[in-house]
Structures are given as C-alpha cells and as structure tokens.
C-alpha cells in the first residue's frame, strides 16, 4: 500500500515505458494470486498430505511469473480506492482467514501436490505469498520512474 501513496490514478493505470503491466494491473495480480493461494490452502487443509521438507520458495517466483505471462488483468482503469480495497480484502478477508483457521505448525505438517511447484508444504505456500508480494513491490518501485 505504501508503494501506491504518492501515485495519481493516471500513474497507477499507465503502462510503464518499454511495456509491461501497469501498477494497477500488478496490484490486481498480487490480490488475485493471494486469493488463489488461500483457496488452494483451504482446499488442501483437510487432505492427508504429510510433512515434507521445507524449502526455499524464492526460486518459485520466477517459475510462477513465467506461467503468468499474458494473463494481466483486462485493460481498464482502477481507482486508488479500488486498489486499496482489493489489497485490504486480500489481507483481511483471505489471508487473515487462513491464519485464524489454522496454526503455523499445522501448515508445516501438511503438504500438497501443487501443479506448478510439485510437492510443497502448506507453510511454504504461505511463504510464497510474502515473497511474491515483495517481488511485485520491487517491480512497482522500478516502474515508478518510467510512468
């Protein structure tokens, strides 16, 4: 949210020089990804996938982003208020729900077969959410001078 503070709605919706997603599209993508991962986690919780070795999920960011090429939100303007509402909904409706529903130790003890990441602990999926967000915060900061 702090990355959006100084930007006008025009800047949020403008594609950076050299192409790429607008900041509004990036934020929408982050929210959609978080919602999708939380839904995946909730569906996997009742499963019987046992404990797997924890791993560094940072390399999975590039794998995931490569799979997302061409999937940007449809063009159209989103207001700053709409983007903040999406972020708040993602944080407080979806992510907070998963943390209220289960404890980190449960997430560590369970795993699933993810179509892109393979066998992965549910805790590592939560770790991925935070790394994915930071990846895009960095992307937004790099795009700011080009809009």
- DSSP class of residue 145 equals G
Task: Give the model confidence (pLDDT) of 93-132 as tens digits.
Answer: 777 777 777 777 788 889 999 998 999 999 899 899 989 9
Q: What is the share, in percent, of the chain residues with pLDDT greater than 90?
A: 44
Which two tokens mark 142? 């790099």
Query: What span, in angstroms and rounded, lies between the C-alpha atoms of 76 and 74?
Result: 6
Task: Give the model confidence (pLDDT) of 73-102 as tens digits.
Answer: 655 788 999 999 998 888 887 777 777 777
Q: Give the contacts of 66 (CB within 8 A, at least 6 positions apart).
A: none
Phi (first) and psi of residue 7, to 5 degrees: -100, 140
What's this model's pTM, rounded to 2 decimal places? 0.85
User: Is residue 135's pLDDT more than 80?
Assistant: yes
User: 2-70+83-146 maps to which CATH number?
Assistant: 1.20.120.450
For residue 67, what is the enclosing H or E element?
Answer: helix 58-67
Kindly list the domain boundaries of the chain, sorted by start residue.
2-70+83-146
Helices 80-88, 23-44: axis angle to 10 degrees equals 20
Q: Residue 11: helix, strand or coil by DSSP?
A: helix
């Amino acid at each position: 949210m702090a990355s959006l503070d100084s930007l006008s709605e025009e800047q949020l919706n403008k594609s950076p020089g050299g192409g790429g997603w607008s900041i509004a599209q990036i934020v929408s993508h982050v929210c959609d990804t978080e919602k999708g991962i939380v839904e995946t986690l909730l569906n996997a919780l009742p499963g019987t996938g046992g404990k797997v070795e924890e791993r560094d999920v940072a390399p999975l960011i590039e794998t995931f982003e490569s799979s997302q090429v061409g999937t940007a939100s449809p063009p159209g303007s989103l207001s700053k208020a709409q983007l903040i509402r999406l972020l708040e909904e993602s944080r407080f409706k979806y992510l907070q729900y998963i943390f209220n529903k289960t404890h980190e130790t449960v997430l560590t003890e369970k795993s699933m077969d993810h179509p892109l990441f393979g066998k992965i602990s549910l805790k590592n999926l939560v770790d991925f959410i935070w790394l994915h967000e930071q990846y895009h915060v960095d992307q937004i900061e790099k795009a700011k001078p080009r809009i």
